[in-house]
Amino acid sequence: MIERKRNFLVIPLLMAFMLILVGCEDEHIAKGHKIFSRYCSACHGEDGDGTGYNATNMDPVPRDLTDSDEDYMAKLSNDEIFEVLQLGGYGVDLSGGMPVWGKVFSEEELWALVAYVRTLHPNEGNEVVFTKPDSEEPLFAAKRVRYPKVREKKFYDLLESLAPDEEAVQEQVALGEEIYSEVGCNACHRINGEGGELGPDLSGAGFMLQTQFIFRWILNPQSFKPKTRMANLDLNEEDAFAISLYLSTLKTASPEDKISDEEGRDAEDEGV
């Protein structure tokens, strides 16, 4: 008699608990989906099949996350997917065309992205777990880390030490042009007709923007505009310096090259 009563309680309790678990999981996947639509779909496509509007002319092309042609994603572990999101393609010996997201999103948001990406292809990988075993305590930091704005002075210090004369400036410009492609700026920006369309055309960057601002922006775009779709590529100061000098030489001024307020820019409230 007593035992029957206990079962009577245990089963609904268990079911309620499972519902809570399922509910939480969905919430993370939904969060991942929302971030994906805003930050990833331009390249990977809204459905994840690699056919976003920004995928045109990219080499290599954005990965088809749905595995429609081959079993690729299915073979990756959750940790491997996390790592490429955190460090970018360049950080794991893939192409710099896949940006670095580890300095933009919180740990929890990165895992929410992994959980969402896992829903895009058939796989038998372990589910992403967001809470510590036997408790409701979250496993991952939910807050984004805010990195401070880079100071103007940093730029002028480097100008003095790295580019003291015209010849040294020219060396930095050449170096900057190389790094620009290597780290994947060209995946999102066009220069003289080549490159991606997610961000503004930079053919006239030298006219439109101050060099010290470019330097500070690319080191930490989120410190100027928290919800910008530009990734923080985790550049070191020397690389950012060389890139900013390179961009300062680009002065093609045609109306379509103008960095306009509409192009590639989003209203603050649109962001995730």
Q: Please report, as ranges, the residues that interact with ligand HEC according to CB under 6 A.
A: 36, 39-40, 42-44, 54, 58, 60, 62-63, 65, 76, 81, 84-85, 89, 94-95, 97-99, 101, 113, 117, 180, 183-185, 187-189, 196, 198-200, 202, 205, 209, 214, 217-218, 225, 228-231, 233, 235, 243, 247, 259, 264-266
- Between CA 174 and CA 265 the distance in angstroms is 29
* Cα distance from N-terminal residue to C-terminal residue, the chain: 54
State how far the alpha carbon of 141 is from the alpha carbons of 84, 106, 113, 226, in Å: 18, 6, 14, 18
Cβ proximity to ligand HEC: between 203 and 228 the closer is 228
Angle (CA) 55-262-251 rounded to 5° is: 80
> Strand, coil or helix: what is 203?
coil
Q: Of the two residues 171 and 225, which places its CB atom closer to ligand HEC in the complex?
A: 225
Q: For the chain, how long is the longest CA-to-CA vector?
A: 93
CB 133 → ligand HEC: shortest distance, Å?
A: 26
Residue of 3, 19, 29, 35 whose CA lies nearest to 144: 35
Q: State the Cα–Cα distance between residues 195 and 189, nearest whole angstrom.
A: 5
Contact 113, 83 (CB under 8 A): no
CB of 198 to ligand HEC, least distance (A): 5
Q: Find the shortest distance in angstroms from Cβ 18 to ligand HEC.
A: 28
Least Å distance, CB 173 to ligand HEC, is 13
Q: Cβ 219 to ligand HEC, closest distance in Å?
A: 9
In the complex with ligand HEC, the residue whose CB is nearer, 10 or 194, is 194
Judged by beta carbon, residue 59 or residue 136, the one nearer ligand HEC is 59
**Residue with smaller CB distance to ligand HEC, 115 or 159:** 115
